[in-house]
Amino acid sequence: MHQVEIATTRQSLMDAPEMTLNMGPQHPSTHGVLRVILKLDGETVIDLDCDVGYLHRGMEKIAENRMYTMIAPYWDRLDYIAAVSNGLVWVETVEQMMGLDVPRRAHYIRTILTELNRIASHLLWLGTHALDIGAITILLWAFREREEILKIFERQFGARLTCHAWRVGGMPNDAYDDFAGDVKRFVDNFPNRLDEYETVLSENRIWLSRTVGIGVISGEEAIAIGLSGPALRGSGVAWDIRKARPYAAYAEMDFDVPLGENGDTYDRYLVRMEEMRQSRRIVKQALENLPDGPVNAKVPKLLKPPIGDYYHSIEGPKGEIGCYLVSDGTQQPWRVHVRPPSFINLQALKQMSIGHLVADVVAIIGTLDIVLGEIDR
């Protein structure tokens, strides 16, 4: 493979001073209110700094003054694209501190819905990432499929985006009547649609030239920064919490983990596309083996986890989303800390972007798949 090194000249051209460009917080492709301060020589990025916090809500501090059940809705608004996954971290952490036995059926339905949420999140990523690179039509196609998932969510949880999905100890209510039918219809339909997207992008010459070799990060560097999720797997590191520390019903599911090789934007794109296929596979399995029974454990009226601290994390669509919880034995946690995948993945932006052009910075922000609700908390 011939790879062209883009020369980074520290010495500016023709006595022109370096230009500082503020990208954001109001910018169409920083995926929210991220502010990226770029130092440019012509259009080449020589330095870059991220300014976050425009969406800060003090969620971790608020959590210290709420009861355990009341904190859950705040979690839905962290990564608002994947509210269902976020909610799961919180309830599972509390369940484990309390030592609750969650019924199998609840675990299975949780698995189905979090995987659907992963697909929805990846579809939104696909649409916006393609839009950043200039392919507009994919966005609307991806939203068409996402709509199907959101309809399932709406029927199940009563909300489309910030669904308050779970309760400590199980689920607020059992799956609705035609849940299996709706999910099955989606699962049957989805692979064709995914192939359609791949025909537009995967072998598109312009798409390849915009993504191959852009934003390269090696496996070692990725681990050093603490990347997780598809961004880590794109660099070829075999790490998936669904496999390493299975939660919900993942221990009983059969699925593969896609791994990239070069750690560039194109590999991350392929990894996410394949992840959607694997998610579909998991949903299909879980739906076929969906056990009967109750969906709620016996939960005390007042949640008072024993004194101590606990860390639990799941494989969210963006990466490892974790919850560090310190309990002092009262109804309110003493400290709640979120391990936000987007925030930590964003740290790789500088390393990935330097030496590339402005257009690539946009592509790299897209490939990191960040959500500002989670970065700023």
Partner 1 sequence: MIALLAAPTFIDSLLLKLFSEQTVNYVIWPFIQIGLVIVITTGWVAYATYLERKISAFMQARLGPMRVGPWGLLQPIADGLKLLTKEDFVPENADRWIFFVAPYIAVVAAFIVMAVVPFGPDWAVITDVNIGVLFVLAVSSVGVLALILAGWSSNSKYALLGALRSSAQMVSYEVSMGLAIIGALMFARTLSLSGVVGAQASNSIWFFFYQPIGFVIFLISGIAENNRAPFDLPEAESELVAGFHTEYSGFRWSLFFMAEYAAMVVVTAVATTLYLGGWYFPFVYKLETAGFHNIYVALSVFVFLAKAGLLLYLYFWLRWTLPRFRYDQLMDLGWKWMLPAALINIVVTAIGVTLIQGLDGWGGMHTIKSITDGLALTLSGKAIAIVFGFGNLLLTAGILSLINWRSRDFNLKKQRRKIRLVDLPKGKPAVAPVASETV
Q: Which of residues 97-156 bind partner 1 (CB under 8 A)?
A: 101-105, 107, 130-137, 140-141, 144
Contact with partner 1 (CB under 8 A) among 25, 55, 62, 204 = 204
Nearer to partner 1, 213 or 317 (CB): 213
Residue 354 C-beta: closest distance to partner 1, Å: 16
Site membership for partner 1, residue 197 (CB under 8 A): no
Residues sharing a CB contact under 8 Å with residue 16, sequence separation 6 or more, in sequence order: none
Site string for partner 1, 272-291 (x = CB under 8 A): --x-----------------
Q: What is the dihedral of CA 84, 198, 223, 370, to 10 degrees?
A: -50
The string of DSSP letters for 264-298 reads: SHHHHHHHHHHHHHHHHHHHHHHHHT---S-SB--
Site membership for partner 1, residue 317 (CB under 8 A): no
| CA atoms within 13 A of residue 275's CA, in its CB half-sphere | 31
Per CB under 8 A, contacts with partner 1 among 322-341 are none
Residue 47 C-beta: closest distance to partner 1, Å: 16
Query: Which span sits near partner 1 by CB under 8 A: 216-224, 240-248, 328-336, 337-345?
Result: 240-248
Contact with partner 1 (CB under 8 A) among 118, 122, 146, 312 = 312
Contact with partner 1 (CB under 8 A) among 95, 148, 182, 376 = 95
Q: Which CB contacts under 8 angstroms, 24+ apart, belong to 285-288?
A: 285/253, 285/254, 285/255, 286/108, 286/111, 286/112, 286/115, 286/249, 286/253, 287/112, 287/180, 287/183, 287/184, 287/187
For the record, the structure tokens of 87 come out as 């909610």
Q: Which of 332, 359, 340, 367 is closest to 65 using CA atoms?
A: 332
Beta strand pairing status for 44-51 and 35-41? antiparallel
Q: Tell the residue number behind the tokens 């312009």, with chain if given.
A: 206
Contact with partner 1 (CB under 8 A) among 8, 9, 13, 19 = 19
Residue 282 C-beta: closest distance to partner 1, Å: 13
Per CB under 8 A, contacts with partner 1 among 290-309 are 293-294, 296-298
Phi-psi region of 213 (alpha: psi -120 to 50; beta: other; left: phi over 0): left
Site membership for partner 1, residue 79 (CB under 8 A): no
Nearer to partner 1, 213 or 316 (CB): 213
Site membership for partner 1, residue 251 (CB under 8 A): yes
Contact with partner 1 (CB under 8 A) among 32, 87, 213, 373 = 213
Nearer to partner 1, 53 or 294 (CB): 294
Nearer to partner 1, 59 or 90 (CB): 90
Taking CA atoms, 276 is separated from 55, 98, 208, in Å, by 29, 33, 20
Site membership for partner 1, residue 205 (CB under 8 A): yes
Site string for partner 1, 157-196 (x = CB under 8 A): ----------------------------------------
Give SS3 for 10.
coil
Q: How far apart are the first and last CA of the chain?
A: 42
Site membership for partner 1, residue 258 (CB under 8 A): yes
Query: Which span sits near partner 1 by CB under 8 A: 53-61, 68-76, 249-257, 332-340?
Result: 249-257
For the record, the structure tokens of 230 come out as 């598809």
Residue 209 C-beta: closest distance to partner 1, Å: 5
Chain-centroid distance of CA 101 in Å reads 27
Contact with partner 1 (CB under 8 A) among 167, 210, 280, 377 = 210
Residue 230 C-beta: closest distance to partner 1, Å: 11
Per CB under 8 A, contacts with partner 1 among 346-375 are 357-360, 362
118 touches 153 (CB < 8 A): no
Query: Total binding residues for partner 1 by CB under 8 A?
Result: 80
Site membership for partner 1, residue 235 (CB under 8 A): no
Q: Give the Cα separation of 164 and 73 in Å (integer).
A: 6
Q: Tell the residue number behind the tokens 């330095």, with chain if given.
A: 47
Site membership for partner 1, residue 243 (CB under 8 A): yes
Q: Give the Cα separation of 283 and 138 in Å (integer).
A: 24
